[in-house]
């Protein structure tokens, strides 16, 4: 046990000497750097710019105040509890045109038999329905599932739908 403490003491002494040597070396290098900066300043050359944020004294004042945060003024009145009422949703419905769900239900009623999304899409395109979608069959399929929940269409078999209600 004594041997371990002796080894630790010797290592500690060695590290202290090493630190002292490094501190002396650092002081010498700082002195050399100061001399070089003074020489560059005498020649009219600027020293390299330091990286990082500028200290507060070196910062320029802002031309305009920052536009972030709340403007000072009277405090807002307390709001009523609860969720705000939902207003009308902005839609893209064109005047005189039926929506896709209505067209799908109409197609299924006229067919009188269960149809899948591909067949419904073919009938809609025959009627002149157009879309800019890259996946019109997927759009019809998703619409079918969405309106199935509302009861406008019913599932007849796997992937097949009929008009509901």
DSSP H helices, the chain, are 2-43, 100-111, 117-127, 136-150
Confidence at residue 73, expressed as pLDDT on a 0 to 100 scale = 73
Q: Mean pLDDT, to the nearest integer, of 6-33?
A: 92
Instruction: Evaluate whether 124 touches 140 at the Cβ level (below 8 Å).
Output: yes
pLDDT of residue 156 exceeding 90: no
Instruction: Evaluate whether 140 touches 103 at the Cβ level (below 8 Å).
Output: no
Q: What pLDDT digit, counting tens, does each position of 94-115 carry? A: 666 678 888 999 999 998 899 9
Confidence at residue 58, expressed as pLDDT on a 0 to 100 scale = 60
Q: From CA 18, how far away is CA 6, in angstroms rounded?
A: 18
Confidence at residue 19, expressed as pLDDT on a 0 to 100 scale = 93
| Separation in Å, CA 162 to CA 56, 108, 121, 139 | 73, 6, 14, 17
Percent of the chain's residues with pLDDT above 90:
30
**More confidently predicted of 90 and 120:** 120
Q: What pLDDT digit, counting tens, does each position of 57-78 carry? A: 666 666 666 666 666 777 777 7
């Amino acid at each position: 046990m004594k041997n371990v403490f002796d080894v630790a003491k010797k290592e500690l002494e060695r590290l202290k000497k090493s630190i002292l040597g490094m501190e002396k070396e650092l002081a010498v290098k700082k002195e050399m750097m100061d001399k070089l900066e003074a020489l560059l300043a005498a020649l009219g050359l600027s020293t390299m710019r330091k990286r990082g944020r500028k200290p507060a004294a070196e910062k320029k004042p802002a031309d305009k105040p920052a536009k972030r945060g709340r403007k000072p003024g009277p405090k807002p009145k307390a709001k009523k509890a609860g969720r705000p009422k939902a207003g009308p949703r902005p839609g893209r419905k064109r005047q005189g045109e039926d929506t896709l769900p209505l067209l799908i239900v109409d197609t299924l009623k006229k067919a009188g038999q269960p149809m899948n999304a591909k067949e419904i899409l073919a009938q809609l395109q025959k009627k002149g329905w157009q879309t800019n979608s890259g996946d019109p069959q997927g759009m019809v399929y998703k619409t079918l599932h969405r309106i199935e929940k509302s009861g406008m269409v019913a599932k007849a078999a796997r992937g097949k739908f009929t008009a509901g209600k």
